[in-house]
Amino acid sequence: MTRQELYEQIRSKRSYLCVGLDTEWERLPRHLLKYDDPVFEFNKQIIDATRDLCVCYKPNLAFYEARGARGWESLRKTLEYIPKEHFTIADAKRGDIGNTSTQYARAFFQELSFDAVTVAPYMGEDSVAPFLAFEGKWVILLALTSNAGSRDFQLDTQENGQLLYEKVMRRAMQWGSPDNLMFVCGATHPEKFAELRAIAPEHFFLVPGIGAQGGDLEGVSSFGFNDHCGLLVNSSRGIIFAGSGEDFADKARAAALVVQGEMAGILGEG
- Where residue 161 falls among pLDDT bands split at 50, 70, 90? confident
Please give the Cα distance from 39 to 207 (Å, whole number): 25
User: What single DSSP character describes residue 247?
Assistant: T
Number of domain units in the chain: 1
3-state helix, strand, coil in the chain (%, to 5): 50, 15, 35
Q: Kindly tell me the sign of the dihedral angle through the C-alpha atoms of 59, 64, 66, 72.
A: negative
Question: Is this prediction's pTM over 0.85?
Answer: yes
CATH code at position 173: 3.20.20.70
Please give the Cα distance from 124 to 133 (Å, whole number): 15
pLDDT digits (tens, 9 = 90+) for 12-29: 999 999 999 999 999 999
pLDDT digits (tens, 9 = 90+) for 120-155: 999 999 999 999 999 999 999 999 987 888 878 877
- Compute, in degrees rounded to 10, the torsion defined by CA atoms 102, 104, 110, 114: -130
Give me the mean pLDDT over the 66-83 stretch. 98
Residues near 118 by beta carbon (within 8 Å), at least 6 away in sequence: 89, 90, 91, 92, 93, 94, 140, 141, 142, 184, 206
In sequence order, the β-bridge partners of residue 91 are 60
pLDDT score, position 3: 96
Mean of all residue pLDDT scores within the chain: 94
Please give the Cα distance from 62 to 143 (Å, whole number): 20
Q: What are phi and psi of 267, to 5 degrees?
A: -65, -35
Q: Encode 203-231: b = buried (16+ Cβ within 10 Å), e = exposed.
A: bbbbbbbbbebebbbeebbebbbeebbbb
pLDDT score, position 156: 85
Residue 148 lies in domain: 3-269
pLDDT for residue 237 is more than 70: yes
Which candidate in 13, 44, 84, 93 is catalytic? 93
User: How do strand 116-119 and strand 138-144 relate by DSSP bridges?
Assistant: parallel
Quick check: is 93 catalytic? yes
Burial class for 161, CB neighbours closer than 10 Å (0-12, 13-18, 19+): exposed
DSSP H stretches of helix in the chain: 3-13, 38-50, 62-65, 68-81, 98-105, 125-132, 150-153, 164-172, 193-199, 217-224, 237-240, 248-269
pLDDT digits (tens, 9 = 90+) for 88-107: 999 999 999 989 999 999 99
